[in-house]
Structures are given as structure tokens and as C-alpha cells.
Amino acid sequence: MSESTTDTTGLTHQYSAQVAADLETNLKEQERISGDVAALQQQLAALQHDHSVLVNIQQALGVTETTKEPTPSAETAAVPSPRQKTKTAPRSKQAARKTTTAQERTTAKKSTAKSETKTAQPTLVELIRQHLTEQGEPRSAAEISTALGQAHPERDIKTKVVRVTLEGLVARSQAQRAKQGSSVFYTAPEAETTPAPDAQPEGS
């Protein structure tokens, strides 16, 4: 009998401890939920207060029963003004596009004209040879560059480049070089002394 009494006492202690722990957990949970409920009640009270304030303001403005369904008149009244703006906007864009297109066409025409004039322009060698042939008298490199610069102002003709070109023509027997004092003059080759294209200068 003593053993059964001991076992019963041990089980009673175990159950008592478990129940005490459950009770403590239950109380803590009740406190937590009570705190949450209190916070939610405060939030609900604040929302109700805001709602009453907003209703009073709405009534003061003379607007009633518009909280649930938005009024279509306000929306339709605000629609035409943006539509009118969107109608006028494409016109300005079209005008800008037309202006831009016209400018691009003008620029393209100018660039095409420039490229055509560049391709149609003779080379500096041809200009110098033509100038010497037309003059028929000795001309210095400075005089030739000045004359060509006046005849072709769109080209940057420099005396140094003209002199080098003239020396190249002399080397190919396509121009004659004569020195008078410290000055050097150039003339077109004489017809009877002009060598054939296949002939090479002497000493080469």
C-alpha cells in the first residue's frame, strides 16, 4: 500500500507542476492579447474620430454621400481639358517635325552640293599647269599661289605647297624652272621641247 501511495503522490506533483506551467503560459497569453486588443481599440477609436471629422468637413463643403461612390461628373469635367491639351500637342510636334525635316533636307542639299563641288574641283597640279599655260610668262610660286587663291577662295592654297608642287612638275618635265637673281620663276614647258610621256629625264 505504501508503494501505491508513493506513486500517486509523484504523479500528483507532476500534474501540479504541469498545470502550474500551463496556467502561467495562459496568463501571459491573455496579457499579450489584452494588450493587442487595447492597441487595436485605440486605433479603432482614432479612425472613428477621423471619420467623424471628415464627415463634418464634407457636410460643411456641401457634399453629401460621396464617400462610397465617386461622382462621375467630377471625373468627366476634368477629362476634356487634358484631351484638349493632347490635341494641341501633336500639332506643335508636327510643326516641329516639319521644321526639322526641312532643316535636314536643306543640310543634306548643302552637303551634297559641297561633295559635288569637291569631286568636280580640279587638283592643285591641274590648276598650276593650267595657270602656267594661260600666263605664258615666268611666274613665281608666290604669284601663282596668290592668283590661285583669288580664283579659288574656297581652297586653302599655300605658297609652300605650290612651290613643292612646281618642283614636282619640273622634275617630271611638266614645267620649266628659271632663276633670276635670288628669285625662282616657273613657266609652262614649250611644246616642241616637251618630252613624250614615256620618255625619262636625262640622268635618271
**Tens-place pLDDT, residues 182-193:** 889 999 887 534
Q: Cβ(132)–Cβ(188) under 8 Å?
A: yes
Q: Cβ(125)–Cβ(165) under 8 Å?
A: yes
Q: Is 140 exposed, middle or buried (0-12, 13-18, 19+ CB in 10 A)?
A: middle
Q: Is 116 exposed, middle or buried (0-12, 13-18, 19+ CB in 10 A)?
A: exposed
pLDDT computed for residue 93 by the predictor: 57
Mean pLDDT of the region 150-173: 90
Residue 88 predicted with pLDDT over 90: no
pTM score = 0.36
